[in-house]
Amino acid sequence: MNSRTIRTSAKKRDSNLVEFAPNDPSDPRNWPAWRKWSIILSITFANFTVIWNASGYTTALTMFEEKWGTSAEVAVLPLTLYVLGLAIGPMLLAPLSEYFGRTPVYLSMFLISALFLLGTAVVPTITGFMILRFITGFFCSASIANIGGTIADLWDHHHTGFPLSIFTLTSASGSSSGYFAYSFIAQLHGLKAVLWAMTGVTGGFFVMLCLVLNLSETRHSVILRRRAAKARKEAGNQDLEVAEDMRAQSLKHLINISLARPFHFMFTEPVIMFCAAYNGYLFGLTFLFNGAFALVFGSEGYGFDTIGVGLDNLGVVAGVCFGPLTHLWQERYYLRRVQEAGGKNVPEARVQMSMVAAVVFPVSLFWFAWTTFTSVHWIVPIIASAFYGWSFYTLILMTFMYVEDTYKVYAASALAGVCFARNIFGGVFPLFGTQMFENLGYRWAGSLLGFLALVLMPIPFILARWGRILRKRSPWAREHMDDLEDYEIEAMGVKVGHNSS
């Protein structure tokens, strides 16, 4: 075959390739800013319900004990089961968006979770209540499984930082704001009212998603496959097809990847190990503090009622809300580094602010621990909790962005591993948090948490200094290193042909 034949064949193949043209209005990245942000903000607000359904329940723990005649340890189990559902859900739900599209997954999962929440409000047995809580958490995890992909659908790689920082507000402040919101209902109306309120809020956000998403699909592969199918039917040309990495795969194959690859990453990739450890510890603390705040600020501490404890949680929320402001500096720094690198991928430029947060994090925990004496004004530990909230937000966001930048097409699997660890910690920590504060005392229990934060403190510094070396040693991350020299590519051997998940 001569060179002219090769060129002709390539041209023929290209003419049969269905893809987005430059400035194509159907490409989600070319949609108007208002449309992009309406989608992200609606999913962001809806994600509040995911965390609120966990922390809101903790406002009524004593009422659960009284209703069912259980111990405090058993009363915590519905919280743990719900969060474990959040851990397992993304493993099985994430592939559904590749198969059916993101919008059907968002809408169906929120509707199903609202129905199961309704079940928790009327179920007559404690066993049924426990099972329904787990199933609710499982289906509520749809936003966790898809939000990173939705943001990547709507913005190019270097401009995902700001929308992701807005979404992270819900992950970082959801537990404290949920406790605050439902504390009024718990104190004034009781456990059943809290469960009905959760159902109503989740149902309300489902309606909002229906109105905003309006069947707007954002996943590129799904849009192009639909376009190709329509074009084949209209043009009668069965050779029309999408690019190979956009083609549909069996749901069984996708689920196998989503189940196996995250665990492979967790146990073989140092970057994932670091980010999962930090993410897990931070998320574990967010639910542990629901019980700890009830002790420190409640009847056994400063003497506040349920609503008062809920108000005290606003210190964490205030700190979290300050996070996006400092992230503006981080984002400008990142974009400047990318520009200096000629537009190449620089994940290490994502960690500058997190190095500050890594130091503030243990300091805030020690500060909180040693100012919980009732002789110290209650505002002092609340100020400490605000610094904790800011560091929590900044570190969570760093782990998400660094993983996203490092693994790109494998980011869904990588983040699934991180989120699995995060929710396992979130489910387990409440099982011993209250007992730890009661047995060790507020000061030493808080100090133990601070010492563990000190152990994790070097992670952002390690990523900043040696992150590139870690990425180059990973066959998965190395595929996305666009700053490798030719001799490095030849010597290291870049893996190709993996399916993204």
Distances (CA, A) of 45 to 49, 241, 320: 8, 37, 15
Q: Look over the chain and give the mean of its residue pLDDT values, rounded to a whole number.
A: 86
Q: What are 115's two structure tokens?
A: 């129905």
Average pLDDT (447-467) is 95
Evaluate whether 439 touches 296 at the Cβ level (below 8 Å). no
Q: What token pair was written down for 225?
A: 């496959």
pLDDT per residue over 42-90, tens digit each? 998 888 889 999 988 999 888 988 888 888 888 999 999 999 999 888 8
**Tens-place pLDDT, residues 182-231:** 999 999 999 999 999 999 999 999 999 998 887 688 888 888 888 887 77
What confidence tens digit (pLDDT) does each residue in 476-493 have? 888 878 766 554 545 555
**In contact, 353 and 329? CB cutoff 8 Å:** yes
Q: What is the pLDDT of residues 108-129, one digit of tens each?
A: 989 999 999 999 999 999 999 9
Mean pLDDT for the stretch of residues 350-376: 95
| Average pLDDT score over residue span 381-394 | 96
Residue 11 has pLDDT above 50, yes or no: no
| CATH number 1.10.3720.10 is the correct assignment for the domain at 31-217+249-492 | no
Q: State residue 7's pLDDT score.
A: 35
- Taking the C-alpha atoms of residue 46 and residue 475, their distance in angstroms, rounded to an integer, is 36
- Mean pLDDT, range 158-172, rounded to an integer: 88
3-state secondary structure of 35: helix
For residue 403, pLDDT beyond 70: yes
C-alpha distance from residue 258 to each of 86, 158, 300, 409, 500 (Å): 15, 25, 45, 13, 10
* The Cα angle at residue 419 between residues 247 and 390, in degrees rounded to 5: 125
**Residue type at position 112:** I
Read off the pLDDT band of 256 (50, 70, 90): confident
Domain-wise residue ranges, the chain: 31-217+249-492
